Structure 1
């Protein structure tokens, strides 16, 4: 298959165990008219090699390999680097939806396609500054899902401020933000109100605050749906504080807001099958 496509494959590749499945990569590159690709690479024990190694320029001219019609790319692969995708993304000019999981953004790479409208980088090691740079490069985001494992209070505010560039188009946002505050740091309000067309927000009670959640006070006026993820770190006190704040918010402008709750496995907002209605009364009864 590789020879037919004019792609490089290491000599003796069939004799050894590799950390990625070469056949999966070849199958994807062969399907050059495909519009939608979803691939999950299982973690394998073996010799490490770059993903999509056959596309590297040092292995010959592969400019004939194009993915002109590819619009949606969904990849899950533990331990890989975003730079592994450089020579795939630059062959997919029609790509508008990119969903990456467990992808390391700490390594240098070329810019992501600026015409993406839907970008998911959940459970991907990425610094706040790198995420801000990506947001600023995009032209018209309508949906963004991201995880930042360790950040300062002001970092989230800067990320949301960068998103205001997309206030006319951004409809859906997922925020999983892990706090690593300096000693004496105070909470900085994230300016979600600048996202004037945001309709759906998925987050947990801790991503937007320290101590009392501060989440409800940050909600933009146009928001119609709030998905609350119960992370392992979520305490009953956190939920009670949120419930009291939500009850107050429904009195001054968010009376039509739909609030659902889901478990920590369901950060990705796909179909809502695992969501349940959030009931303030039930929380108060447990208090």
Structure 2
């Protein structure tokens, strides 16, 4: 029902809020009243006063549906699905999904609007396509879609592939089933989903005027706990269940640090390095 409401209701005005009215600018520039500079006159803009935005009942209903659907229910359902996966025997499909999907594709999806590298990729693809086809309005959606698909594939190949190979190699060194070791990636996958899917929740809260000064510390704490938990679980499994000599165990432990390091790096980039006025 929430999805239907969010899809069918008219989009609320950009400046309205669910619980706090009076947002937005108190004036605007009327282009029809601006001085024409073609006669050699200095440019002059005319500011027109306006009443700050106030939401009507349709705006509030649309905002409520959006907040509940994308800000609350989506993160809850995603974490519930991950919990169900963790309760079942870990087969090849589940282990690959966690390593490549949740720790490769998911981080790439969460960061594509923030990473300057995506802008460079989109520009490079745009130049390549424009040089081969005549520019048209239908070409720009193709550029966006192609850039996003290439970006997600790159995330799956680089981050997901590195996590998969590191887990498989570490398990091989200590004679473990790599799927059992991949289960210990779940804390990293859980915090990646939680922090990524609640980015919109944070934006909604800030838009309503909530004080989010505590959020960076909270995110850093969750990342630290997840990295520590996953590292400890994997090391404990390799020491208690695994076999092999000391050199193999040490090398396996170093390989096991790679997935945690990738998650920590992604979290630092997204929530501390690329932070700006449009991202909470």
TM over 0.5: no
TM-score range, shorter chain: under 0.3
Quick check: which one's helix share is greater?
2
Query: TM-score normalized by structure 2?
Result: 0.23
Query: TM-score normalized by structure 1?
Result: 0.22
